[in-house]
Structure 1
Amino acid sequence: MNVIFIEPGFPANQRQFVRALASIGANVIGIGERPYEWLDEETRSWLGSYQQIASVTDEAALEWAVRQAQDVQWVDRLEAVVEAHVMPAAHVRERCGIPGTTARTAYLCRDKVAMKDALREAGVPTAASAGLSSTREAIEFADAVGYPIIIKPRDAAGAAGTYRANDEPELLEVAQRCGLADGAAVAVEEFVEGHEGFYDTLTVNGEVAHDFISHYYPNVLEAMRARWISPQIISTNRLDEPGYNEIKTMGKRVIDALGIHTSATHMEWFFGPKGLRFSEIGCRPPGVGQWESYCSGNEFDLYREWAFAVCHHHIDRKPSRRYSCGIIALRPDRDGNIFSYEGVEDVFKQYGENIVEQYFPDPGTPTQGVEAGYMANAWLRVRHPDYDELRHILNDIGERVQVRAG
């Protein structure tokens, strides 16, 4: 099995997909933007060959590299697991006759407006939305659905470039900030009140082979705007409880409606006064190292499961569901350089057996802004057999650990 994998060197967890493919006997052909010598020794050992190009999102360059590989051997799969790489990979895949996620599916999973139109047609409950390119249209949309409204790029990943406008003055301000006032195309959505979480799958031949459900505390927009919050993402091990059946059913309808075949998926949802509402999907794994939480919580190698799915269209092992597992972001009290940590030693004494991964930047490291995400500064990954107890542990860590900067 010859598999082209796009960008094996960055971001850091890309090497895990290469490792997994090599571990089941695949010949991995890397295409990336970095010189081969910049890849770490282990990653190089897992690659059968490597081609550097200027940009993996340049479809002409990517197609050239893929055809170079095809001149040497038959290529069975072409895989991309980063949001920005999914669409270029789909276009090149189709032009080069390689099976995998289609350009139509990649587009529907990327363009927020087309995505929601397709899902509403399939009967999936979503927020009201529209694609707009003027402030006047946004005001008319808000008048029709009511404030607050959400404004985001049509092809945004996560909360990047996402704004909430609570009234018309705020909408006018956001329109200036996001370029809408100058004619930029954006997606606008009805604000959906409620708790936010996500449903992740490994889908094989259109069927859910592995699935995972995670919760945000607090919701993403709030977490990315307030420094004092130590936000958490927790994956539950209670997936068999009846309360999650509606999420699973919705997820399968989304997969069917968008034509997803064999791929990782990442689906965001809200649950509130209006019931369950679908938010958006990525035809790729989640960010913030969330697969590491799934691996730790379920005592198996999800990357290897992905490799089996891609190469052989089946999975190898079942998740144990033994632990819930979550990450907590520990933010500096101000911008500057980190100079000390408080409470860390006591937390490790009390919860050391539950902590499975950690990151504490060295003193002197410049801080990153709140908007940079959950893994931008210090963080801990923690697991526990009981979901409620895990929430208690993470809350306690958030209160006790202080990151000092100046």
Structure 2
Amino acid sequence: MPASTVFVAPYALPSTLKFVSAAAMLPETVFGIIAQESRESFLARVDPRVGACVAGFVQVQDAHDPDQLEAAVRQMAGALGTGRVDSLIGILEPLQEALAIVRERLRIRGMDAAEARRFRDKAHMKDVLRANDLPCARHVLAHDRETALAFAREVMPLVAKPPAGAGAKDTFRVERIEDLESWMERVPPSPSRPLLLEEFVQGTEYSFDSVSIGGQHVFHSISEYAPTPLQVMETPWIQWTVLLPREIRTPEFASILEAGPRALDALGMVEGMTHMEWFRRHDGSIAISEVAARPPGAQFTTMISYAHDTDFYRVWAEASVFGRFQAPERKYAAGAAYLRGQSSGAPGHGAPGHGAPGGGGQRVARVTGLDEIRSRLGDLVVEADIPSPGQPKSSSYEGEGYVILRHPETDVVRRGLQFVVETLRVGLEG
């Protein structure tokens, strides 16, 4: 009997559709989609071969509402002709708790509500990590101004974020008590809207991306950011890179190879992929920043695929739907250079504050350096999304485009990424 799988995807975003396609085309599966846009609008952006695999489609007003989601899943069980749903999946972090609540209500296999909360509530997550003697940044969940200021006087600099934030999104650095006081005058913390404050960990930032099956850690990949995501968010014009070194079972990564799986066990990861961000401080110690119970974004899954010569979108789908996984060999180093527009008239890399996310009506005017990239890097480039003149400035920290490189030697990829960000320029006007 085929497995009945329902994918919750509020909108047909390009990054989401890669995972939708992988799940829809699994054999021995009856597949349905729950979305906030119409069937016609959603499937118009899907490959016709994938669309042919969609046996059911239910539109809801708010996919993050567990009650609406539960009603849609019940309706989908009938639409698929199976009378049941075996797998309820989705990749967006804000959806994970709602998905888990519905799984628990309808007795669908997978992460339950308590487990999802440990991943989604970043303050609760750090409490769990500390209780299990796992290294993480000092933190406090401040429900009032006095608690926030007391922590800030002890721990400075620090970062502030909402408890249910995703990565560096909505995160900002605080280096003076006066800055925190000013911010809390505008958005005062309260029991209903607490503020998560953390030690600002200084060092090199990495990710630890993993696959779990049946509650067991079965695979991991390590990536290095340059510069850190917070620096990228603070400096909208800066072009940045992510490097996946070929060799990761080295003394350099011994601490995270021990702590990473323990953290997943403590948080209760069941099946699928996770994205963990962690730091190596200047003294060599590590600190886990946060963990998301979802696949990584920003082309990470694509890079992991290139590094292993394996389609990790399909890997995620098979792990999530069937609970199966076969570990591939890491054959290459891989990496991405993210291309972000720079305002005209700005010296060097551009001017801070120019071309901020949202774009203010700015558009790509020119792209320079492509000939040099083609001449010097050649076959190292395995995928690229080059901005086109007239393209609106992106509202995402990923920028206007990217270039992905791959080679058996890590240093070759590292040098190539640096060459891309130093050579390729995206000029903005407007």
TM category (shorter chain) comes to over 0.9
1:14 aligned onto 2:24:
no
Partner Cα distance (1:226, 1:311) in 2: 39
Q: For residue 342 of structure 2, give the secondary structure of its aligned residue in structure 1.
A: coil
Which residue is equivalent to 1:265?
Answer: 274
Matched pairs, number? 401
Q: In structure 2, do the counterparts of structure 1 residues 308 and 382 end up closer, same or farther at CA, with 3 Å as the change threshold?
A: same
Which residue is equivalent to 1:213?
Answer: 222
Instruction: Kindly provide the amino acid, as one letter, of the partner of residue 74 in structure 2.
Output: R
Partner Cα distance (1:113, 1:200) in 2: 21
Which residue is equivalent to 2:67?
Answer: 60
Q: For residue 156 of structure 1, give the secondary structure of its aligned residue in structure 2.
A: coil
Partner Cα distance (1:356, 1:8) in 2: 30
Which residue is equivalent to 1:338?
Answer: 364
Conserved 8 A contact 2:145-2:188? no
Partner Cα distance (1:314, 1:181) in 2: 44
Q: For residue 173 of structure 1, give the secondary structure of its aligned residue in structure 2.
A: helix
Which residue is equivalent to 1:362?
Answer: 388
Conserved 8 A contact 2:22-2:317? yes
Instruction: Kindly provide the amino acid, as one letter, of the partner of residue 252 in structure 1.
Output: P
1:240 aligned onto 2:249:
yes
Instruction: Kindly provide the amino acid, as one letter, of the partner of residue 30 in structure 1.
Output: I
- Give 1:132 shift: 0.7
Deviation per residue, 1:8-55 (Å, 9 max, x gap): 853213233333232333111111112111212333122121111112
From 111, 115, 120, the counterpart of 1:105: 115
1:185 aligned onto 2:194:
yes
Conserved 8 A contact 1:264-1:283? yes
Q: For residue 23 of structure 1, give the secondary structure of its aligned residue in structure 2.
A: coil
Partner Cα distance (1:283, 1:12) in 2: 20
1:268-283 equivalences under 5 Å are: 268-272=277-281, 273=283, 275-283=285-293
Instruction: Kindly provide the amino acid, as one letter, of the partner of residue 203 in structure 1.
Output: S
1:301-380 equivalences under 5 Å are: 301-316=311-326, 318-334=327-343, 335=355, 336-368=362-394, 372-374=396-398, 376-380=399-403
Instruction: Kindly provide the amino acid, as one letter, of the partner of residue 112 in structure 1.
Output: K
Q: For residue 373 of structure 1, give the secondary structure of its aligned residue in structure 2.
A: coil
Conserved 8 A contact 1:87-1:107? yes
Partner Cα distance (1:315, 1:182) in 2: 43
1:34-45 equivalences under 5 Å are: 34-38=37-41, 39=43, 40=46, 41-45=48-52
Which residue is equivalent to 2:309?
Answer: 299
Q: TM-score, normalised by structure 2?
A: 0.89
Conserved 8 A contact 2:273-2:294? yes
From 132, 136, 141, the counterpart of 1:126: 136
Q: For residue 258 of structure 2, give the secondary structure of its aligned residue in structure 1.
A: helix
Conserved 8 A contact 1:134-1:183? no
Residue range with higher mean Cα deviation, 249-258 or 12-21: 12-21
Q: TM-score, normalised by structure 1?
A: 0.94
Partner Cα distance (1:47, 1:18) in 2: 10
Conserved 8 A contact 1:204-1:262? yes
Residue range with higher mean Cα deviation, 179-188 or 51-60: 179-188
Conserved 8 A contact 1:297-1:324? yes
From 147, 172, 185, the counterpart of 2:156: 147
Deviation per residue, 1:234-283 (Å, 9 max, x gap): 12221222322321211111111111111211111011126111110000
Conserved 8 A contact 1:101-1:263? no
- Give 1:133 shift: 2.5
Q: In structure 2, do the counterparts of structure 1 residues 324 and 178 end up closer, same or farther at CA, with 3 Å as the change threshold?
A: farther
Conserved 8 A contact 1:28-1:47? yes
From 406, 414, 419, the counterpart of 1:396: 419
Conserved 8 A contact 2:36-2:60? yes
Q: In structure 2, do the counterparts of structure 1 residues 351 and 254 end up closer, same or farther at CA, with 3 Å as the change threshold?
A: same
Q: In structure 2, do the counterparts of structure 1 residues 129 and 66 end up closer, same or farther at CA, with 3 Å as the change threshold?
A: same
Residue range with higher mean Cα deviation, 381-390 or 211-220: 381-390
Q: For residue 14 of structure 2, give the secondary structure of its aligned residue in structure 1.
A: coil
Q: In structure 2, do the counterparts of structure 1 residues 274 and 399 end up closer, same or farther at CA, with 3 Å as the change threshold?
A: closer
Q: In structure 2, do the counterparts of structure 1 residues 202 and 183 end up closer, same or farther at CA, with 3 Å as the change threshold?
A: closer
Which residue is equivalent to 2:206?
Answer: 197
User: What residue ranges of structure 2 are gaps of 5+ in the alignment?
Assistant: 344-354, 356-361
Q: In structure 2, do the counterparts of structure 1 residues 236 and 59 end up closer, same or farther at CA, with 3 Å as the change threshold?
A: same
Partner Cα distance (1:31, 1:344) in 2: 41
Deviation per residue, 1:351-400 (Å, 9 max, x gap): 1311122122321122235xx312x3132111122112211111111111
Instruction: Kindly provide the amino acid, as one letter, of the partner of residue 43 in structure 1.
Output: V
Which residue is equivalent to 1:138?
Answer: 148
Percent sequence identity over aligned pairs: 29
Partner Cα distance (1:320, 1:2) in 2: 31
Q: In structure 2, do the counterparts of structure 1 residues 182 and 165 end up closer, same or farther at CA, with 3 Å as the change threshold?
A: farther
Q: In structure 2, do the counterparts of structure 1 residues 181 and 30 end up closer, same or farther at CA, with 3 Å as the change threshold?
A: closer
Q: In structure 2, do the counterparts of structure 1 residues 84 and 36 end up closer, same or farther at CA, with 3 Å as the change threshold?
A: same
CA RMSD of aligned residues (A): 1.9
Deviation per residue, 1:163-183 (Å, 9 max, x gap): 111111122233345554998
Residue range with higher mean Cα deviation, 121-130 or 72-81: 72-81
Q: For residue 352 of structure 1, give the secondary structure of its aligned residue in structure 2.
A: helix
Structure 1 segments, 4+ long, off by >4 Å, are 176-179
Q: For residue 413 of structure 2, give the secondary structure of its aligned residue in structure 1.
A: helix
From 127, 143, 162, the counterpart of 2:171: 162
Partner Cα distance (2:207, 2:185) in 1: 31
Deviation per residue, 1:315-349 (Å, 9 max, x gap): 14x33312111111122211322111111122112
